[in-house]
Structure 1
Amino acid sequence: MKSKYHLLTFLLSLSLFFGCQSQQEAKITKIDKTYLKENVIGKQVQLVDVRTAEEYEVGRIGDAVNFNVVQGDEFLEQIKTLDKSKPVYLYCKAGGRSNRAAELLKAEGFTQIFDYSGGYNDWVQE
């Protein structure tokens, strides 16, 4: 009876170990303008502008969609339309709101999060 218990405990430990290994850990990666130009613009990606609708209307980067992070619950509903298995690229005006949005995405189970920390202000500078 004792050996069956040890075998069961061993098998349970193995399944927990390998089960946890297969899950991808969430990671927020800071990116710059060069990275954005080379890897995001003109590609089929999930690019999200987390500024207000008014800021978005004045100008945006590429084909970004606008999900205003300040709108809390509405933002959480909007990100449900994104594919968690694919990278998500975020930006705001200067980096503060996109950082907050990245943390929210991480908490919601997104694992590949890229934060353009320079934001729109950096983008429009030459």
Structure 2
Amino acid sequence: MRSILASLLISVFLLGCTGQQQKTAEVKQLSPTEFKDQRMSTKAVLLDVRTPEEFAMGHLEGASNADYRGGEFALEMKNWDKNKIYYLYCASGNRSGKAAELMKEAGFKHIYNVGGFNALKEAGLPTE
């Protein structure tokens, strides 16, 4: 009887502990039109994860460059505020998707992959 009671208490304790685990954030996908319709707040960060050469050829107005392929992205993101909202884009949406997943794994809470630069430009978003 005592061992059954002990097993029951351990089971209840373990189930209680797993129920308190923090839920991980999800990377949200936005189309260029959906992104255009959103109002970016001052807490939001727009990241172009293309190479510096691609960024220099044109980028969305207000974007910062954080080269995903350059090898420094993972180091740079350690200094970023995990509670801010991040919108990421690249040439096609592939690199920004990978960068967003890396940020998710690091504990960032609000991450949006908004796709490729040309599609964003064609949707009428301002560029520099």
TM over 0.5: yes
State whether residues 24 and 104 of structure 2, in contact with CA within 8 Å, keep that contact through their aligned partners in structure 1: no
1:122 corresponds to 2:123: no
Q: CA-to-partner distance for each residue in 1:62-120, whole Å, 9 max, x for gaps? A: 31111000012x11111122222233210001112111212221222223321012x11
- Does the residue aligned with 1:29 lie in a helix, a strand or coil? strand
Q: Percent identity?
A: 34
2:85 equivalent in structure 1: 87
The one-letter amino acid of 2:63's match is A
Alpha-carbon distance change, 39 to 90 in structure 1, aligned in 2, over 3 angstroms = same
Structure 1: gaps of 5 or more residues: none
Contact 2:24 2:107 in 1 (8 A): no
Counterpart of 2:23, as a letter, is Q
Counterpart position of 1:61: 60
Cross-structure match for 1:17: 18
Q: Which structure dedicates a bigger proportion of its chain to helix?
A: 1
Q: Which runs of 5+ in 2 are unaligned?
A: none
Once structures 1 and 2 are overlaid, which stretch shifts more, 26-35 or 11-20?
A: 11-20
**Secondary structure of 1:88 counterpart:** strand
**TM-score when scaled to structure 1?**
0.79
Matched, 1:30 2:29: yes
For residues 85 and 13 of structure 2, the distance between their equivalents in structure 1, rounded to whole angstroms, comes to: 33
Q: How far is 1:7 from its partner?
A: 6.7
Aligned length: 121
* In 2: Cα distance, 1:40 partner to 1:68 partner: 25
Contact 1:98–1:115 under 8 Å retained in 2: yes
Q: How much is the aligned-residue C-alpha RMSD, in angstroms?
A: 2.2
